[in-house]
Amino acid sequence: MMISSSFIDKFSQIAKSPEPDLATSGLLIAKLEYPNLDASRYLERLDEMGLAVLERLNEAPENDPLRRIEVMNAYLYKEKGFTGNKSQLNDPRNNLLNAVIDRKTGIPIMLAVVYIEVARRAGVTVEGVNFPGHFLLRIPYLNGTTDHVDFDLIVDPFHSGAILSESDCRHLLNRSVNPQMPFDRRLLMHATKLQIIIRMLVNLKRLYVTMLSFPQARAITELLLALDPSAMAELRDRGLLAYQLNDFSTALKDLQAYLRFTSRGAPQVPEKNEEHAEIWEHVKTLRRRVANLN
C-alpha cells in the first residue's frame, strides 16, 4: 500500500491546522483501510449527535458541568449504545473512526474523539488527556464562587463516561502501564490536537505491525513523519518496514539516515549501542542486496 504525496500533504495540512476538528483527520486515516469511504456521511452523523445533545442540554442548568456530563453520557452510552470494546482490542476497526461510529465501540482514544466531537458541536468544551496506557477526557469545571476557581473533571470515555478521582487515575496508571510508575498530575494535562492525532496513528501502526500488515503500517509511518519529520523512531521503522516489503533501496536510505542522525551520544547509551549494531547489520545486508540489483 503506497499513499500519494497529495494525500499526505492534505492530511498534514488538516492535522496541523488551528481548527479544533479531529474527525476529519480521523476519517482520512480510516481511508487507508476504506478507500471509498464517504467522510461527509460520518461528519453529518456527528453533526446530528451534536444537535441531539444540544437540545437535551437546553433543558439542563447552564452552569452545571456535572449535569452536562450526565446528559452527554446518557445520550452517548445509554441512548446511542457506545461502549468500550474490552474483548476484541486487536480488531483494527476499534481504531478507525468510521467503524467506531458504525459499530459504537472502540478503544479509549477513539471513543474520546467521538465524545469530543459531539460535545464540540453541542457547545461543550471537552479536552483530551494523553494519559499513559488509557486515553482520558478533561472537562473544565467552575465552582460557582466569585473567584471562578478552575477544577478538572476527568472522564473515562471507555467506561461509559465515568468521572475519575485522582485516586482512580493512580490505580488506572498502575493497571495500564507500570505499578512502579509514579503518578504526576501533569499526566492529566490536556493534549493538543496534534498529540491526539499522533497517538491515534501510533496505536494503529503498532496494531498493524502486530498483525504483520506491513504495507498498512508503512503508510501510517509516512503520515507520522509528515507530522513530525524529526521523529527518528518513525524514520527507523519506515526503513525496517520497507525492508520487510523488499523495498531495499528505500530501506537502505532510511536506515542509513537513522544511523547518521542518531549516532551522536550513542556510546553513552548501551541500549542504543545494541540497536545501532543491529541496524548497522541490516544496512550492510541491504548494501549487498542493492548492489546485486544494480
Distance between CA atoms of 94 and 107, rounded to whole angstroms? 6
pLDDT in tens, 80-116: 999 999 888 789 999 999 999 999 999 999 999 999 9
pLDDT at site 147: 39
> Helices 193-210 and 214-227 sit at what angle, rounded to 10 degrees?
160
Enter the CATH code of domain 5-193: 3.10.620
pLDDT at site 152: 81
pLDDT at site 22: 98
Burial of 145 (0-12, 13-18, 19+ CB in 10 A): exposed
pLDDT at site 145: 40
Cell of 142: 467552575
CATH 3.10.620 spans which residues of the chain? 5-193
On whether the CB atoms of residues 12 and 81 are closer than 8 A, the answer is: no
Which residues in the chain show pLDDT less than 50? 143-150, 266-267
pLDDT at site 144: 45
Distance between CA atoms of 106 and 89, rounded to whole angstroms? 8
pLDDT at site 12: 98
pLDDT at site 271: 63
On whether the CB atoms of residues 97 and 153 are closer than 8 A, the answer is: no
pLDDT at site 265: 54
Buried b (16+ CB within 10 A) or exposed e, 50-88: bebbbebbeeeeeeebeebbebbbebbbeeeebbbbeee
Buried b (16+ CB within 10 A) or exposed e, 92-107: bbbbbbbbbbebbbbb
